[in-house]
Amino acid sequence: MRVRKGDTVVVISGNDRGKMGKVLKVELDSGRIIVEGIHFIKRHTKPSQRSQKGGIVEKEAPIKASNVLVYCPKCDKGVRVGKKALQDGRRVRFCRRCGEMFT
């Protein structure tokens, strides 16, 4: 999985194509991620003791990690990222387009 929690990503397919958001959660098992403000679904909730009133709640639903690209500020677009090891052994991700490193 090339996407990490906290990354800014660009959606490349589906209804939210072209939108950007921050990765809130990565589900490694299913290969899905939750992105802030992307792919809202409406959930009908019944009144319960926990939440006083029922109704419709809009909530982000997971999308496939393969539907997004990591946003590169330098390229100002979603890009593919590579991984490499620095001389001190740290592994970093970088933009395959311009070479910018992501922390």
Interface residue list for Zn ion (CB under 5 A): 72, 74-75, 95, 97-98, 100
To Zn ion, the closest distance from the beta carbon of 20 in angstroms equals 15
- Torsion sign (Cα): 24, 73, 39, 13: negative
Smaller CB separation from Zn ion, 3 or 95: 95
To Zn ion, the closest distance from the beta carbon of 99 in angstroms equals 7
Smaller CB separation from Zn ion, 19 or 97: 97
Distance between start and end Cα atoms, the chain: 15
- Spatial CB neighbours of 94, under 8 Å, sequence gap ≥ 6: 81, 82, 83, 84, 100, 101, 102
To Zn ion, the closest distance from the beta carbon of 70 in angstroms equals 9
Smaller CB separation from Zn ion, 55 or 73: 73
